[in-house]
């Protein structure tokens, strides 16, 4: 698939199943992340790959974190939380390593990680791999960060769920360029 076709038509895929992306596909997807725009070339990102049984450990972390946040949960909610990471065979956790830099604020470092995740979404689409960027309260929960081994200066900016689409991708909405792009009137 050529680059513009992927950029214009990429959609997220919520319903994912086995198999996980193969070695060639994941290499292409991960290499796309490493070309994210990056002020100061700080390389402020790192990525944790969670698959197989490790997803069950992640579910347990999610549950401890949700319970620790004081969320009163019934049995069905507990089961849903435990099963969240099982929604795809591979989860890429996108982490920003915040650095102190005179010209690059933390926000820009996190924007670089976001650019990396978007690049992975597009590369996944081009590879026929389904992917879905998720966050939610658990991405920002300190128990999740600690149990995943993040340092004090690290933040989770997304869980990228990857796998085989259950259905063909839906057509991308084709927004009108004219509704979002305007000549600025300098007068």
Residue ranges for the known binding site for FMN are 10-12, 35, 39, 133-135
Alpha-carbon distance of 111 to 38, in angstroms, equals 8
- Residue 172 in 3-state DSSP? coil
What's the CA dihedral at 60, 22, 130, 175 to 10 degrees? 130
CB closer to ligand FMN, 41 vs 107: 107
145 contacts 64 by C-beta, under 8 angstroms: no
Q: Is 80 in the site for ligand FMN (CB under 6 A)?
A: no
Residues 118-137 interacting with ligand FMN (rule: CB under 6 A):
132-136
Residues 136-155 interacting with ligand FMN (rule: CB under 6 A):
136
What's the CA dihedral at 54, 59, 65, 66 to 10 degrees? 170
Alpha-carbon distance of 79 to 97, in angstroms, equals 32
Residues 23-62 interacting with ligand FMN (rule: CB under 6 A):
none
Alpha-carbon distance of 126 to 26, in angstroms, equals 12
**Helix then strand then coil, % of the chain, to nearest 5:** 45, 20, 35
Q: How far is the CB of 23 from ligand FMN (least distance, A)?
A: 25
CB closer to ligand FMN, 26 vs 132: 132
Residues 156-175 interacting with ligand FMN (rule: CB under 6 A):
158
CB closer to ligand FMN, 102 vs 132: 132
136 contacts 113 by C-beta, under 8 angstroms: no
Q: How far is the CB of 187 from ligand FMN (least distance, A)?
A: 35
Query: For ligand FMN, how many residues bind (rule: CB under 6 A)?
Result: 8
CB closer to ligand FMN, 53 vs 62: 62
Kindly tell me which residue out of 1, 6, 9, 11 binds ligand FMN, with binding defined by CB under 6 A.
Answer: 11
Residues in the site for ligand FMN, rule: CB under 6 A? Answer: 11-12, 132-136, 158
């Amino acid at each position: 698939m050529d680059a513009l076709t992927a950029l214009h038509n990429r959609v997220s895929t919520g319903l994912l199943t086995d198999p996980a992306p193969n070695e060639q596909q994941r290499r292409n997807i991960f290499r796309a992340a490493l070309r994210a725009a990056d002020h100061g070339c700080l390389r402020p990102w790192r990525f944790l790959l969670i698959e197989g049984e490790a997803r069950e450990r992640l579910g347990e972390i999610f549950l401890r974190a949700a319970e620790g946040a004081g969320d009163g949960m019934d049995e069905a909610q507990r089961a849903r939380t435990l099963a969240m990471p099982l929604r795809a065979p591979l989860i890429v956790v996108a982490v920003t390593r915040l650095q102190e830099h005179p010209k690059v604020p933390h926000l820009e470092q996190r924007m670089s990680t976001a650019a990396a995740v978007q690049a992975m979404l597009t590369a996944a689409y081009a590879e026929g791999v389904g992917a879905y960027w998720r966050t939610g309260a658990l991405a920002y929960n300190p128990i999740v960060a600690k149990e995943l081994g993040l340092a004090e200066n690290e933040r989770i900016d997304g869980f990228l769920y990857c796998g085989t689409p259950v259905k063909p991708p839906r057509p991308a909405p084709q927004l009108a360029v004219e509704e979002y792009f305007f000549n600025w009137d300098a007068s």
